[in-house]
Amino acid sequence: MKFLYMVLANCKRYFKDYKTIAIMFLLPIVVVSFVKIMSNPKSSSKQLNIAVGVVNLDKGDLGNKLIKKIDAPNIYKDKKEALQALKNYDVIAVYEIGENFSQEINVNKKPVINSYKLETGNKAQIFEVQMQQKINELFKVQVLKTNNIIRDESELNKNLVNLQYNTEKKTVASSEFMPLVMIMFFLLSFSSIMSGDLLKLKKGKILERFLSTSNKGYQIIGSIYLSMIITQIVMYTASFMVMKVLFKFSFSNFGFLILNIALMSMVSISLCIMVNRIFKDRGVAGIFINLISMIMFFLYITVLPGPNYTKIPKIIITLSKFTPFYWSLGSIEKSVLFPNVFILLLMSLVFFTAGSIKYSNFAKESK
């Protein structure tokens, strides 16, 4: 009972550190929200507040189809009116759909869009990429219709050939996997803030005063260690729950999520305690831990499946398996326990043993 009371007391102390709690809870949400907005293919120029204009001079019907697809914020039928708006800085760029736009596509000729700008820059680049993508779609539909492969655009996304794929079993959609990756990354990176609490307690002579109580050294260290893990589990799980509601994730395997957040927390805090024990300076230890986190994160995302996977050096693939990201996220993604859980526990034990301390000696060290 005394040990549980110490754990609860430490948890209460950590939850009163509002700055750290806010970082753990809000930062993953902010970063994931930003990435989701920027990577959303449905984001239009209106949603992104890009002031551009489009002049539709096309004599056919494809020009109007293109305008609907790109959701242009300002549409002009008169070129002079559009250029005047550009001169008045009402828009930052004007794009002209020529008279022969539909005709050129119908004869399998790639159309040209004229652009008018007062200055060069990247503000309209997102809109230009979207426009190019939609033109390519129109062109592809016309080519397929000309060759009698499809009858209309509604058939474009239908499979022309029935194929059966034998793929590795995964239970997490790719759109939901990125938030999990970010949570695990921040969990490792910001563990240095919490684990540095030991140095703070030592510097304030609080650890030394604990020696005068009836509590054993391992009980004191164990209660602090366990309360750090509990705090991280609560805050990062809550952060993911908010993202699940905001972005309407269908993820429901919370048992594996909480288990792997706990295991990742054990690994990260054990690592941070070891580093803090070595450097004995919160600033230096924090920089070193962030550097390790970035290296591990880079190794993990480098070997994620993609078109260039076969070009990745074998040494990088091998090194990625030494990162906790590989095993924790692999466990969540595929809903597997063994050997992932065992390896994460082993990593935690190795780091904890390497940074293990005799409480009385650590509490009394002058440096």
- CA 55, CA 114: separation in Å to the nearest integer? 10
Distance CA 17, CA 90 (A): 48
142 Cβ neighbours under 8 A, 6+ residues apart = 62, 105, 106, 108
- Is 159 exposed, middle or buried, given 0-12, 13-18 or 19+ CB atoms closer than 10 A? exposed
The answer to whether 189 and 290 have CB atoms below 8 angstroms apart is: yes
324 pLDDT exceeds 90? Answer: yes
- DSSP type of residue 71: T
pLDDT band at 38 (very low <50, low <70, confident <90, very high): low
| pLDDT tier for residue 165 given thresholds of 50, 70 and 90 | very low
| pLDDT of 194 strictly over 80 | no
Tokens of 101: 């736009």
> Which pLDDT band, with edges at 50, 70 and 90, does 153 fall under?
low
Terminal Cα-to-Cα distance of the chain (whole angstroms): 33
Cis peptide before 313 (omega within 30 of 0): no
- What 3-state DSSP class applies to 356? coil
Mean of pLDDT values over 131-160: 72
**Taking the domain 52-155, which CATH number applies?**
3.40.1710.10
Residue 239 has pLDDT above 60, yes or no: yes
| Low-confidence winner among 174-178, 254-258, 304-308 (lowest mean pLDDT) | 304-308
**273, amino acid identity:** I
What is the pLDDT at residue 341? 93
Average confidence score pLDDT of the chain: 79
Whether residue 261 contacts residue 241, with contact meaning beta carbons closer than 8 Å, is answered with no
Q: Can you give 156-185 as a three-state secondary structure string? A: CCCCCCCCCCCCCCCCCCHHHHHHHHHHHH
Looking at 247-261, 280-294, 348-362, which range is the least confident one?
Answer: 348-362
Average pLDDT over every residue of 104-126:
76
Half-sphere exposure of 103 (CA within 13 A, CB side): 6
C-alpha to C-alpha distance for 63 and 80, rounded to whole angstroms: 18
Task: Dig out the tokens for 323 from the structure.
Answer: 């990162």
> Is 50 exceeded by the pLDDT of residue 47?
no
Condensed to tens digits (0 to 9), the pLDDT of residues 197-232 reads 766 766 666 666 666 666 676 777 778 888 888 999
132 token code pair: 């190019």
- Give the mean pLDDT of 238-267: 85
Handedness of CA 78, 84, 90, 93 (dihedral sign): positive
Q: What is the mean pLDDT of residues 340-359?
A: 81
d(CA 297, CA 322): 11
The whole-angstrom separation of Cα 362 and Cα 277 is: 9
Give the Cα separation of 223 and 213 in Å (integer): 15
Q: How far apart are CA 356 and CA 74, in angstroms?
A: 65
Share of the chain above pLDDT 90, in %: 11
Cβ partners under 8 Å of residue 18, min gap 6: none
pLDDT band at 35 (very low <50, low <70, confident <90, very high): confident
Q: Contact at 8 Å (CB) between 187 and 268?
A: yes
**Token pair recorded at residue 166:** 């034998």
Strand partners, 95: 54, 115
51, 95 contact by CB (below 8 A): no
Q: Where are the domains positioned within the chain?
A: 2-38+171-364, 52-155
Residue, of 268 and 38, whose pLDDT is higher: 268
